[in-house]
Amino acid sequence: MDTDDFAEFVASRSATLLRAAWLLTGDAGKAEDLLQTALMATWRRWARVAAGGDPEPYVRRVLFSTYVSWWRRRWRAEVPTQVLPDGMRPDDVAQSQAERDVVRRALNKLTRQQRAIVVLRYVEDLSVAQTAEILQTSPDTVKVQASKALAKLRSDPQLRMAEMGAMGNVR
């Protein structure tokens, strides 16, 4: 097993993958857990994964399928943990935190599959076919669920307000 290749891969891609993991989980700790789990699975099959060319699709598939499947119940049950002492967050950070919470709450209203589809389609910019392959579902399901997810996000009044604040206009 070429550990140097693995190290190089995670060094170059971990930031992007961690961002996707955060959008799926809405929590930095859970995002780390999810990405570590995906990388563990990749590490175990690295020789085969690396031999196939670009390992990123494999990691991405593990990341999203893990999120959609067996992490379902346990994450719903986790509680927020440490609240850091007062005075550690300046106002601008608090504002960002508030806006982040709005997005996180809006994403929480989606089903797990819808959330994964939103991240894959609209953040990772994958096609319907690529999204369907990663989530091991049909392209029709991706289209239908993406449409439902967008409808839910559009109807979220807080998200619309956050968007106004962020972009200075109303759609």
Partner 1 sequence: MSDEEHLRAILLDAVPPLTGPQDWSTVVARRVRRTRRRVALAAAVSTVVAMIGSSMTVQLIGNTATPPHRPALTCPEVPADWLQTVPDSDTPGRFIDPSGVASVSMCLKTVSGPPREETVWTLDTRLPQMLDVFNAMPTKANFNEQRKRNHPDANIPSEWMCDAVGYFQEFAFAVTYTDGRVVTVLTDRNCGLAYLDGHLRVMQPSPVNTFKQLYLGQQISRTDPATVATPSCPSTTSGAGEFIDQISAMRIATLTSDDPFLPTPLVAVALCRYADNGTGLRLTAHYEARTTGDPRLPGPVDTWRQRINAATARREGAAGCHGASDLANATALDVMWAADESGAVSAVPVEWGPCRQVVARNATIPPSESLKEYLDQVLATR
Q: Which stretches of the chain bind partner 1, using CB under 8 A?
A: 3, 6-7, 10-11, 14-15, 18-19, 22-23, 28-33, 35-36, 39-40, 43-44, 70-71, 73-79, 81-82, 84-85, 88, 96-97, 99-100, 102-104, 118-119, 121-123, 125, 150, 153-154, 159, 162-163, 166-167, 171
Cβ–Cβ < 8 Å for 124, 20:
yes
C-beta closer to partner 1: residue 50 or 150: 150
Residue 149's SS3 state is: helix
Residue 86's contacts (CB-CB under 8 Å, 6 or more residues apart) are none
C-beta closer to partner 1: residue 11 or 51: 11
Residue 168 dihedral angles phi and psi, to the nearest 5°: 75, 15
Structure tokens at 69: 């499947």
CB of residue 62 to partner 1, shortest distance in Å? 12
Q: Which residue has the tokens 């955060």?
A: 22
Structure tokens at 88: 């550690």
C-beta closer to partner 1: residue 33 or 134: 33
CB of residue 171 to partner 1, shortest distance in Å? 7
**Residues shown for the chain:** 171
- Nearest residue to 35 via CA among 51, 55, 7, 14: 14
CB of residue 30 to partner 1, shortest distance in Å? 6
CB of residue 53 to partner 1, shortest distance in Å? 20
CB of residue 32 to partner 1, shortest distance in Å? 4
C-beta closer to partner 1: residue 82 or 157: 82
Give one DSSP letter per residue of 101-128, joined into a string: HHHHHHHHTS-HHHHHHHIIIIIS---H
